[in-house]
Each structure stands twice: as structure tokens, then as C-alpha cells.
Amino acid sequence: MNTNKSLAADSHGEATAQVETVYVYEAPVRIWHWVNAFAIFTLALTGYFIGTPLPSMPGEASANYLMGYIRFTHFAAGQILTVFLLLRVYWAFVGNPHARQIFFVPFWSAQYWREWLHEVKWYTFLAREPKKYIGHNPLAQFSMFLAFMLPLVFMVVTGFALYSEGTGRDSWQYALFGWVFSIWPNSQDVHTYHHFGMWVILLFVMVHIYVAVREDIMSRQSIISSMISGERLFKDRED
């Protein structure tokens, strides 16, 4: 773990805070994060129009392929998201310990739940001071696993299952994901759950952005810039 400490100065040149930086997020994790963000935005936008198509198009139907382009963009973004998700799983095995945090939650650890409860109090303004974590804090780890990674896997599985309806029963998509229709024989049910999953992820994204901005301001540790530089910066005022 690489750390670097320095003192920040105010406008008069006097030291006001001790600054510590720790390299946390490796380049593959940061690339996955931003590719994932772009893919989810594209999937949500195109998925909305697939679920709620435009009411009409002017001119002859043969001269308009807008919904075809929307569906193609949706499928392409879904495949990009899937490839990078598989690469992210691979990096969880070969990367640093912080690369593995979002893939499991230590439910068996009493200390984890004590720290989780403190984070709940911090985010609900019941705790005065935050605790400092180099990687994800326990509540963030919990949320990333249950409210993001699991729904993301669900969306990939149901998305490829729906895609296999067009590619046919002899396609590799149906061979790998056709079992979904054994659980929900009516494909419209799969459409509905897939659509619902989109809103679960979008709600998570909104909360995720709020928390990242809030932590940058209130906890005196960098969050947003860490996913650009890879370094987490801690600032502690000296008494």
C-alpha cells in the first residue's frame, strides 16, 4: 500500500491540515467503473424506449428504422457491459484487496455489523464524525453487493435470455440463458422483471452519486476524484 503524507497550507502559508493519500483503485477498476456508467446510461435510455416505444413515425415504415437503431444500441451496450463485467470478475482475483470488496459481504463478522451500524448513523446524521476507510466503508460494500452487483448480474442474465428469443433455440444465447424461461415461461414476465431491474439500478445510481458528493464534502476524504486518479486523499485538521 503506497501512502504519501503532506501538510496543506492556508492563504497565509500556515499549515492547517495533514493530508494523506493512499493508492486504492487500480486502473482496470477505474476503467470498468466509467465504462459501466456509460453502458448503464445507454441501456437505461434505450431500454426505456424499447419498453415504451414512440407512438408513431412519419412517412413509410420501410423508411424508418429508429426503433431498430435503438434496439441495436441497447444490445451492443449490453454486450459491452457483460464483457467488462467478466473482466471485472477476473480482476477481483488478480487485483489488490480493494478490487474484491464489492463481490462479497462478511455477514459473519460482528465487527463488520458494528461498523455498518455506525455508517448508517453517519449517513442519517446521527453520528458526529465519520470513520475513515481506505476502500469501501461497510455500508457501501453492503449496498454495492446487494443493490448493484446482484441486480447487474440479474439484468445480464435476463437480458441475454430475452435476446435469445430473436436468435433462436439453436443459438449460444439460448443454450446459456434459455433456462430463464423454465422459471418464467411467459417471456412477458421476464420483460417486466428486466424493466423493474432497470429502475432498481437507477435508484442505486442516484443514491450512489449523492453519497459520493456528500462524502467528498463532509467526511474530508476524496471519493469522486479517487475513481479518476486511483488515490484516496484524507485530510485531518490539526488541533
- pLDDT band per the 50, 70, 90 thresholds, residue 15: very low
Backbone angles phi, psi at 81, to 5 degrees: -60, -40
- pLDDT band per the 50, 70, 90 thresholds, residue 220: confident
- pLDDT band per the 50, 70, 90 thresholds, residue 64: confident
| Strand stretches in 11-170, DSSP E | 15-23
The proportion of the chain whose per-residue pLDDT surpasses 90, expressed as a percent, equals: 62
- Terminal CA-CA length for the chain: 27
Nearest alpha-carbon partner for 173 in 194, 154, 159, 188:
159
Beta bridge partners of 21: 4, 233
Q: How confident is the model at residue 17, as a pLDDT? A: 52
Q: Report pLDDT digits (tens) over 80-123.
A: 999 999 999 999 999 999 999 999 899 999 999 999 999 999 98
Q: Report pLDDT digits (tens) over 33-47.
A: 999 999 999 999 999
The mean predicted confidence, pLDDT, of the chain is 87
> In whole angstroms, what is the distance from residue 193 CA to residue 48 CA?
13
Backbone angles phi, psi at 65, to 5 degrees: -130, 25
Between 60 and 166, residue with greater pLDDT: 166
- pLDDT band per the 50, 70, 90 thresholds, residue 72: very high
Q: Is the dihedral of CA 109, 110, 112, 117 positive or negative?
A: positive
Q: What is the mean pLDDT of residues 59-70?
A: 80
The proportion of the chain whose per-residue pLDDT surpasses 70, expressed as a percent, equals: 90
Give the strand pairing for 15-23 and 231-237: antiparallel
Q: How confident is the model at residue 63, as a pLDDT? A: 72
Domains, the chain, with CATH or none: 26-55+63-237 (1.20.950.20)
- pLDDT band per the 50, 70, 90 thresholds, residue 146: very high
Nearest alpha-carbon partner for 51 in 31, 29, 71:
71
> In whole angstroms, what is the distance from residue 135 CA to residue 200 CA?
24
Give, in degrees to the nearest 5, the angle at Cα 39 between 224 and 189: 120
